[in-house]
């Protein structure tokens, strides 16, 4: 599977349940205040 050089090493689509690591990476990429908005319900 080809991944661009800038692909985050924490997110590997070739492993089972990779979506979980993708969500964690995305939540770490946004400011903490965003987690409290309606865009991330149930996350804080």
| pLDDT at residue 40 in the model | 59
Please give the C-alpha separations between residue 15 and each of 1, 5, 38, in angstroms, as whole numbers.
Answer: 11, 18, 30
Range of the domain at 3: 1-44
Residues 6-30 have pLDDT tens digits of 999 999 898 999 999 998 898 888 8
From 1-5, 25-29, 36-40, the region with the lowest mean pLDDT: 36-40
Whether residue 32 is predicted with pLDDT greater than 70 in this model: the reply is yes
Which of 33 and 29 is assigned the larger pLDDT?
29
pLDDT of residue 30: 84
Name the domain count of the chain: 1
35 within 8 A of 21, measured Cβ to Cβ: no
């Amino acid at each position: 599977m080809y991944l661009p050089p800038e692909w985050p090493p924490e997110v590997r689509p070739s492993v089972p349940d990779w979506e979980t690591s993708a969500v964690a990476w995305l939540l770490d990429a946004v400011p903490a205040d965003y987690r409290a908005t309606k865009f991330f319900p149930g996350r804080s």
